Amino acid sequence: MDFSRPELFDFQGISMTKYHTDKWEKIQNFQARPNDIIIASYPKAGSTWLSYILDLLYFGSETTHIFRGTEMLDKLPTSPRLIRTHLPVQLMPNSFWEQNCKVVYVARNAKDSVVSYFHFQRMTLMFPEPEEWSRYLQRFMKGKMVFGSWYDHVNGWWKKKQSYSKLHFMFYEDMIEDIGREMDKLCSFLGLSPSAEEKERIIDSVQFDEMKTNDMVNFSGFVKQMNFKVSSFIRKGKVGDWKNHFTVAQNEEFDEDYGEKMKDSTLQFRTEV
């Protein structure tokens, strides 16, 4: 593989790479439509899972209608457009708010997020070299990650929810615990009414063992940018895998730092289910 990894740099106060900012003017000038649906999250928080659920709810097919770029969106007849992003809330194009678009944000606890992001960066050549685990964990705590600080990201979107009524906030741990229940809440927010049969079919399709073997979901087509010998894109889909990575000392340091950074937040996460 001759795909060179990018360097991290400061972009409007957020750590980013040129891969994610090269076409920034087009991103910021993007024209949203009122029926666009935005799927937002910090990386490795369950947005692929949520995207697939929405794809099946709206289109009922195995063909993905999730768009990550903005260049081709205006030419697409697909409606609604399901637009996935990892941008922090302050960098979102203004047209999404002007058009009053619906947003679904999914958040995952910090410990499992950093573990999943670590393995993702190990196999994804579009991101900087993660180096070894202990150094990576320190960078995560300092917010030196592509798309910035986990703490700022989840709190920024959580704060937006308080003033923007068309934002549905979901938790990865709740989805793991009872995907049917969380799908019902999602459908209520979106105004969808799938039949019991449709709902059961979707639940069966979005189990992790099914998604890991689905080429439309597991990114297996991105052979140049991803090294699947290092890790799979959809790895475990578990709550609590952090226990297999954190040492006792790392956990204590992380908890102390977490308590300080989240002391003014009303967000509550579970690290076990």
Active site members: 86
Give, in order, the Cα–Cα distances in Å from 82 to each of 7, 52, 138, 202, 232: 29, 10, 34, 17, 24
Q: What is the DSSP letter of 5?
A: P
The size of the chain, in residues, is 273
Q: Decide the pairing of beta strands 66-67 and 37-41.
A: unpaired
Listed residue (41, 12, 16) closest to 156, CA to CA: 41
15 alpha-carbon distance from chain centroid: 16
Burial 53-64 (b: 16+ CB within 10 A, else e): bbbbbbeeeeee
CB 161 within 8 A of CB 105: yes
- The dihedral built from the CA positions of residue 74, 80, 85 and 91, taken in this order, carries a sign that is positive
Token reading at 195 = 């039949």
Residues 6+ apart with CB under 8 A from 29: 93
Token reading at 57 = 């709810």
CB 189 within 8 A of CB 168: yes
Tell me the CA end-to-end span of the chain in Å, nearest whole number.
Answer: 39
CB 208 within 8 A of CB 46: no
